[in-house]
């Protein structure tokens, strides 16, 4: 009984994760679940990624090159510029170029 409850919970979590990412669940001859997930992204997602890159790139450039009246960097600008650059590099390398 306990094994079937654990199997049910694990299958339910797999089905919910598969539904969130857009996977289809089919069954083969032995009634085993076969997940088929799309590998191509929607064109709207790619456009949204480019818009995100433009915005985070501008924020990172401004924040990392900003100087105050004394000619020094502010900690807040450097912090948020580094965070923006991190998100920029992640979207560029993972989502658009597919390197990782």
For residues 7 and 52, membership in a common domain is answered with: no
Could you tell me the sign of the dihedral formed by the alpha carbons of 47, 53, 59, 65, in that order? negative
Other Cβ atoms within 10 Å of 51 Cβ, number: 10
For residues 32 and 47, membership in a common domain is answered with: no
Structural domain containing residue 31: 2-36
pTM, entire model = 0.57
Q: Give residue 95's pLDDT.
A: 87
Select from 46, 93, 41, 85 the least CA-distant residue to 63: 85
For residues 26 and 47, membership in a common domain is answered with: no
In this prediction, residue 54 has a pLDDT band, given cuts at 50, 70 and 90, of: very high
Task: Output the average pLDDT for the chain.
Answer: 76
For residues 17 and 50, membership in a common domain is answered with: no
In whole angstroms, give the CA distance from residue 26 to residue 54. 40
- If you average pLDDT over residues 76-87, what whole number do you get? 93
For residues 31 and 47, membership in a common domain is answered with: no
For residues 29 and 47, membership in a common domain is answered with: no
For residues 67 and 23, membership in a common domain is answered with: no
* Among the ranges given (10-19, 67-76, 77-86), the one the predictor scored with the smallest mean pLDDT: 10-19
For residues 58 and 74, membership in a common domain is answered with: yes
What is the count of structural domains for the chain? Answer: 2
Helical packing angle, 43-65 and 75-90, nearest 10°: 150
For residues 52 and 85, membership in a common domain is answered with: yes
């Amino acid at each position: 009984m306990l094994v079937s409850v654990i199997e049910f919970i694990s299958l339910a979590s797999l089905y919910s994760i598969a539904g969130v990412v857009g996977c289809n669940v089919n069954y083969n001859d032995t009634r085993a679940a076969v997940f088929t997930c799309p590998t191509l992204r929607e064109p709207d997602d790619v456009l949204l990624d480019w818009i995100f890159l433009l915005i985070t790139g501008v924020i990172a450039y401004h924040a990392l090159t900003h100087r105050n009246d004394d000619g020094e960097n502010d900690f807040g600008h450097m912090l948020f510029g580094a965070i923006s650059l991190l998100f920029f590099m992640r979207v560029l390398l993972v989502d658009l170029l597919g390197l990782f």
